Every structure is written in C-alpha cells, then in structure tokens.
Amino acid sequence: MTLFSKFSPKRFRLLWYFVGTFIVLSTIIRLVFTFWMLPEVDTSFFKIGNTLLIGFLFDIGTVSFFAIPYALYLLVFPKKWYGSLFDRIITWFAYTLGLVIFLFSFFAEITFWEEFKNRFNFIAVDYLIYTYEVVKNINESYPIPLLVGGILLLTAFLLFMTKRKGIFQKTFHNETTFRQKLLPTAFFIAIAAIFALFVKNKDAEQFENRYNNEIAKTGIYSFFAAFQNNELSFTDFYKTIPVKDAFAEVNSEFRKRGDSLLFPEKELIYRNISNIDSLPEQKPNVIFICVESLSAKFLGSFGNTENITPTLDSLANHSLFFNNLFANGTRTVRGMEAITLSIPPTPGRSIVKRENNQHLFTIGEVFKQKGYTRNFFYGGDGYFDNMNSFFGGNGFNIVDRGRGFLMDASITTTRTNIEDEEVTFENAWGIADEDIYNKVIKVADEAHNAGKPFFDFVMTTSNHRPYTYPEGKIDISSGSGRSGAVKYTDYAIGEFLRKVKQKEWYKNTVIIIMADHCASSAGRQELDVKNYHIPGLMLNLPNILPEKVDKMASQIDIFPTLFSLLNWNYNTNLYGTDVLKMKPEEERAFVGTYRKLGLLKGDDKVMVLGDQKISNYYQWNRESNELIPLKENEAFLKEIISNYQTADYLFSNGGLKLKSLGLED
C-alpha cells in the first residue's frame, strides 16, 4: 500500500477532494489579490514564492478545522452502513454546506478587500454585531441576487463535477476498515492542533511589504483569529519601560509647556492649564462636524484637480486651516476616541467599543465645567459601534435615528429621535448630511432660546459606501462612487453654513470641521502615513484672523487648541496640546492601526511599535510615501513607549475615570 493510499483510503476520497477544492479556490483568491495590487506587491521570485507557500500552509491548517467533524464521522461510522440513505444525506449535506461556506467567504473577502485592502480582521468581526447596517449597505452597494445566484451556481457546478468524477461513488462503495481510517483522521487532528496551539495569524507576516503579508493569510483563519484577539494587552505584546519612568517622561513634557500637575505623586496626567495672558474667557457655542472618511487628498487645497470640494477649499482661506494634520486611527470609532478623550490610540479595539468606558474625562467634561450643554448627533442609530453608550455614558445628550435599540438603563441622558418627517433621504448608514444639519440647527435654535451655550458633536454619514445621496444636488449621479459622495458632503456643508449664517446665534458660534479618518489607510508600508493626512479647520473664532497652520499635529490636539484660543483656564486629563504654541521640536502626530502604534515627528521621522515587542524607526519621504529604515533612536523610542504605555495604563487602571480625578459624575 502506497503512502498516498494510506492517507487517502477510498472512504476519505470526498474529504480529500473537499480539501483540494478549498486549497485551489483559496489560491485563486490569493492570486486575484496579487494581481489586484500588483504595483504594490513585492513580486520578486523569492518573495512571491514564499507568499504563496505560506498561504498554502495556512490553507491546509484552515481546512483541517473544517475537515475534523466529517473525518470523525467517517471514523466511527460502521462499514456495513457505507452508502446507506443516512450516510448519503449526511455526506451530501455536509459537502454542500462546506462549499457554500467557502464560496460565501471568498465572495465576502473580495468585497472586504475592496473596502479595506485587508484580509478579514476585527472590523469584520464587529460587522457581525451590526447586521442591519452591514447587510443593508451590502444590498445597496452590490447586486445581491447576482452574487447569491453566483454562489449557488458555483456550488451546483462543483457538486456536478464531484459526482461526475465518481468521488461520491468511491466514498460510498468501499471496504475501508476502521484501522485504515485512523491515519487520515489523526492527520487532520494533528494539523488542526498544531495551528490551534502554535501558529498565530501574525506568523504569516514574514515580509516588509504589508500586502504580501495580507495575501499570505487565509481569510477564514484571519477572521477567527480576530474574533479571538480583538483586544491586545500593551504590557504583554509591546515594548515597555517601568510605569513610573513612563509617567515621568510624559509629565516632564507637560511641565515644559507650563502645565501644573495636580497629582504629581500619582500615575496620572491630570493637570491645570492656565491662561497666562489673563485675557477674558470666551464662551461661544461650538459645533464640531466630524466628516466621514474625508481624506486630505480630496481637497483642491492639497492638489486635487476634480473640483469636488469647492466649499472646503474656499473655507481654507477664511479659517484657521490645519494643513499638516493627521488622523490618529483608521476608523470612525478611532477618530471619536482621539477627539473626545484626546488620547493616543490604544491597541486592539477602540475605547469607544470597550467595556467600562463610561464616566471618563472627555472634552465634554471641559465644556461642562464651563456651563455648556453637550449633544451628540448621528444620522443612523447610535447603537452602531456602541456610540450611544459611549457618548451617553460620558454626559452627552443623544440625537439619532433610533430604530428601537434601547440604551443601557444605567445611562442617564436625554435621547431625541430624528423623526421620519425630518428625513428627505436615507441609506444604510443613516440620513443625508443635509438632514442631520437641519436637525442640528433646530436643536441649536432651542438651546439659544433657552439661553444655554451648547457644544454639538456631529457625525456625518454621506461619504460612505454605497455613496448615495439626494439626486439633483450636485452634478454627479448618486451611487456612482466616492467622488460624488465627497462632492455632496462638501455641498451639504456649504448649505449648512449658508443657513446658520442667517441665525442670530451664529455670531457667537465657532464651527470646527475635521475628518474622522481617511477614506483608505491601507498601503504596502508598515504604516501608510500619507493615508492619515486629513483636513481640519476652525471657523468664526472670536478675534482670530484666518491662518494656514503648518505645524504638525493630530486629532487629539484640536480641542486643546480651541480651549487655548478661547483663553480658558481649566483642569485637563487630555494628552493633546495647543498646536499654535508648539515649538518645532514638539510637533508630532500619533498614528496607528489596531496593532501598529506610530509616532510621527515634525522632521518626518517615524517610530512604529509592533505587537511582537518590536519597534522600527524610519524616515518618511512625503513625495514617495516610502518609509526608509533608520538606526533606532533611544530617546525617540522612550518617548513613543511612554505615551502609548501611559495611555493604556490610565484606561486599564481607571486613570481616565472622573472619580479617580476627584470629580463627580
């Protein structure tokens, strides 16, 4: 008996055919992604060969998990009943179900890759929770009947080919003994055990080129790895220094800026910021517009020639315009985390989506100290991405398009629904930007009439796939692509400003516009720095002339800058600082993914911390967007570790809680 026949007795022919089919289909997907990103992938013979080889090994490991249940069934099923009706039903059903699962996952991977240029990750896991938005978005973005029909047609074709090759016949009619079935069963169990115990998804990442790393992975395996590990312990996975040294490093920087630590003996950053010029405090209303996926590259101010942002390009010359500003992360919840908590991005899930994320010190607490009401506006249901729980649990009133999802009973806040008659257009993610702005104006009118200063955090949704919006507003058809969505987003901002300028309260209202993140953050580099570049501007600031700010900063700095411009004395637990007062050596931006944590300095030096206790130091070339390796800088390394380690420590140990700072909830 040959070695092949020992591992593949006739009773196991269908199972091996199933394994082979998965490997072939997975390889095809891998090649599709390779050609898709051909200009970016490292296609040298050695690198592409290793990419495919690693992918092949991960395919074997992945399919082994699926093979075990049927292998065990084959092992224990008595020989005298081979080919019985029960045996045929179980076999046909299991094989068909396996094919459907694989084909569905491959189709899903293609759509996921189109959006994120990644294999499945924690984003895909999150999408399982928010099925309404995701399913509706898919339905509005892709021809679902065609896709489902394609999956069913391919399944039928594969079933036909399997039957035609006589695979079922060999599986049902044979004399394979129990002993002969032990070896192949043990093989699949051993492979699955090796992968479960010793192989991590990140073991596929053997290349400097990020796309090679992603292509080497297997989508299903990546999905379950993300499901298992969507939170990362900083102390377990990243380089660290003694906690006291980390806080000493961070707090020394705050002292240099003139901040006074309120609890210098504790592992905290809580401090006082004083208005050294003794100018009177200004307390205008503040409307912050967080624009979905607005990359800097969309604006004519940054070289775009499509003329899709005429409003924002005009505002660039009539505002405090930050042209060297970077998003802290790659998703909306990361932007919200950075803006509200003013904190470097912690590894794993955003704090917005974690447990125990209520009663924290946010920018809302600073506004509360100054007597403001605080409102969070969202055009969809704020249940999505845990937004309502986060904002409501941190003192904001909620205005959203509720669909019946109730907030936690422990959260004491006011929730206002956006009613049907207030909506002119709606897609999977929420109402059109014009509609949410109209609601903002309505609530602002009410607050003004009540004599209350207000801070509004407004999250837009129109610049998102499926890129649909009301027809007739701009000269690009709805649903035609990103450029149209950007142009409509810009148009809606223009209409909002036109309306608010007619309001009595406008003369005492600051409007801030900034992106939550870029439209795409993926690239072949460890961190694609250029894809973190976002626009940000402040309008109607009291006694402040328009200016283009070249200093490097990130989202965490925007509100500390505003507080400084308003001459506020306040206590703070925020990492951000006044951009305008930054010295050249202080300019920096925190940029990161859920695994890679980066610090970009004003001279375009970049340090990146990885989750295998590694760090890499680079020179960023703005023109080519290349990261050029440098010899590690110990002082820079200590700076980045200190900031990220203390941020993680504060959240994990209650240092962001109002109670820990002696403040009442």
Enumerate the domain spans of the chain.
3-228, 243-276+290-568+575-661
Given this model, what pLDDT does residue 4 score? 63
**176 known ligand binder:** no
**517 known ligand binder:** yes
Given this model, what pLDDT does residue 38 score? 93
Of the ranges 36-40, 118-122, 325-329, which one carries the lowest mean pLDDT score? 118-122
Residue listed under structure tokens 């890499």: 616
Closest CA to 386 of 367, 361, 411: 411
Helix (H) / strand (E) element for 606: namely: strand 605-610
Q: How confident is the model at residue 122 (pLDDT cuts 50, 70, 90)?
A: confident
Whether the per-residue pLDDT at 1 is higher than 60: the answer is no
- What distance in Å separates the CA atoms of residue 457 and residue 65, rounded to the nearest whole number? 46
- What distance in Å separates the CA atoms of residue 567 and residue 275, rounded to the nearest whole number? 6
Closest CA to 295 of 493, 111, 116, 521: 521
**533 known ligand binder:** no
CB 583 within 8 A of CB 573: no
- What distance in Å separates the CA atoms of residue 254 and residue 269, rounded to the nearest whole number? 8
Residues 203-229 have pLDDT tens digits of 999 998 989 999 999 999 998 888 776
CB 350 within 8 A of CB 337: yes
Per DSSP, the residues of 493-550 read: HHHHHHHHTTSGGGGGEEEEEEESS-S----SSSS-GGGGEEEEEEES-TT---EEE-
| Pick among 2.60.40.10, 1.10.3720.10, 3.30.2320.50, 3.40.720.10: CATH of 243-276+290-568+575-661 | 3.40.720.10
- What distance in Å separates the CA atoms of residue 121 and residue 225, rounded to the nearest whole number? 8
Given this model, what pLDDT does residue 625 score? 92
Given this model, what pLDDT does residue 500 score? 98
* Average pLDDT score over the chain: 93
Average pLDDT over residues 271-295: 93
What is the number of alpha carbons within 13 Å of residue 512 lying toward its C-beta? 26
CB 420 within 8 A of CB 479: no
**516 known ligand binder:** yes
Whether the per-residue pLDDT at 290 is higher than 80: the answer is yes
Altogether, the residues listed in the chain come to a count of 665
Q: Is 300 in a helix, a strand, or coil?
A: helix
Rounded to 10 degrees, what is the CA torsion of 347, 350, 355, 356? 90
Compare 127 and 73 and report the one with higher pLDDT: 73
Given this model, what pLDDT does residue 365 score? 97
Given this model, what pLDDT does residue 57 score? 97
Residues 546-580 have pLDDT tens digits of 999 999 999 999 999 999 999 999 999 999 999 99
Whether the per-residue pLDDT at 286 is higher than 80: the answer is yes
Given this model, what pLDDT does residue 3 score? 62
Given this model, what pLDDT does residue 129 score? 63
- What distance in Å separates the CA atoms of residue 655 and residue 285, rounded to the nearest whole number? 29
Residues 40-72 have pLDDT tens digits of 999 999 999 999 999 999 999 999 999 999 999
Average pLDDT over residues 379-405: 90
Q: How confident is the model at residue 130 (pLDDT cuts 50, 70, 90)?
A: low
Given this model, what pLDDT does residue 142 score? 77
Give how far Cα 365 sits from Cα of 198, 209, 321, 332, 391, Å: 46, 42, 26, 21, 12
Q: Is 638 exposed, middle or buried (0-12, 13-18, 19+ CB in 10 A)?
A: middle
As beta bridge partners, residue 348 has: 231
Whether the per-residue pLDDT at 127 is higher than 80: the answer is no
Closest CA to 437 of 382, 375, 499, 388: 499
Whether the per-residue pLDDT at 102 is higher than 80: the answer is yes
What is the CA angle 613-614-619, rounded to 5?
150
Of the ranges 136-145, 339-348, 444-453, which one carries the lowest mean pLDDT score? 136-145
**359 known ligand binder:** no
Of the ranges 272-276, 281-285, 316-320, 520-524, which one carries the lowest mean pLDDT score? 520-524
Average pLDDT over residues 508-526: 90
Residues 592-630 have pLDDT tens digits of 988 899 999 999 999 999 988 999 999 999 999 999 999
Asked about 489 being catalytic, the answer comes back as no
Average pLDDT over residues 89-111: 94
3-class SS letters over 404-467: CCCCCCCCCCCEEECCHHHCCCEECCEECHHHHHHHHHHHHHHHHHCCCCEEEEEECCCCCCCC
Alpha helices by DSSP H, listed for 165-260, are 167-172, 178-198, 210-216, 219-228, 234-237, 243-256
Residue listed under structure tokens 């499509």: 306
- What distance in Å separates the CA atoms of residue 437 and residue 458, rounded to the nearest whole number? 8
Active-site hit among 51, 155, 176, 332: 332
Average pLDDT over residues 21-44: 95
Q: How confident is the model at residue 267 (pLDDT cuts 50, 70, 90)?
A: very high
As beta bridge partners, residue 416 has: 399
Alpha helices by DSSP H, listed for 283-397, are 310-315, 332-341, 363-369, 387-392
- What distance in Å separates the CA atoms of residue 429 and residue 435, rounded to the nearest whole number? 13
Residues 505-515 have pLDDT tens digits of 999 999 999 99
Given this model, what pLDDT does residue 493 score? 98
Closest CA to 58 of 189, 188, 210, 191: 191
Residue listed under structure tokens 């079933």: 159
Given this model, what pLDDT does residue 227 score? 76
Average pLDDT over residues 336-362: 94
Whether the per-residue pLDDT at 5 is higher than 80: the answer is no
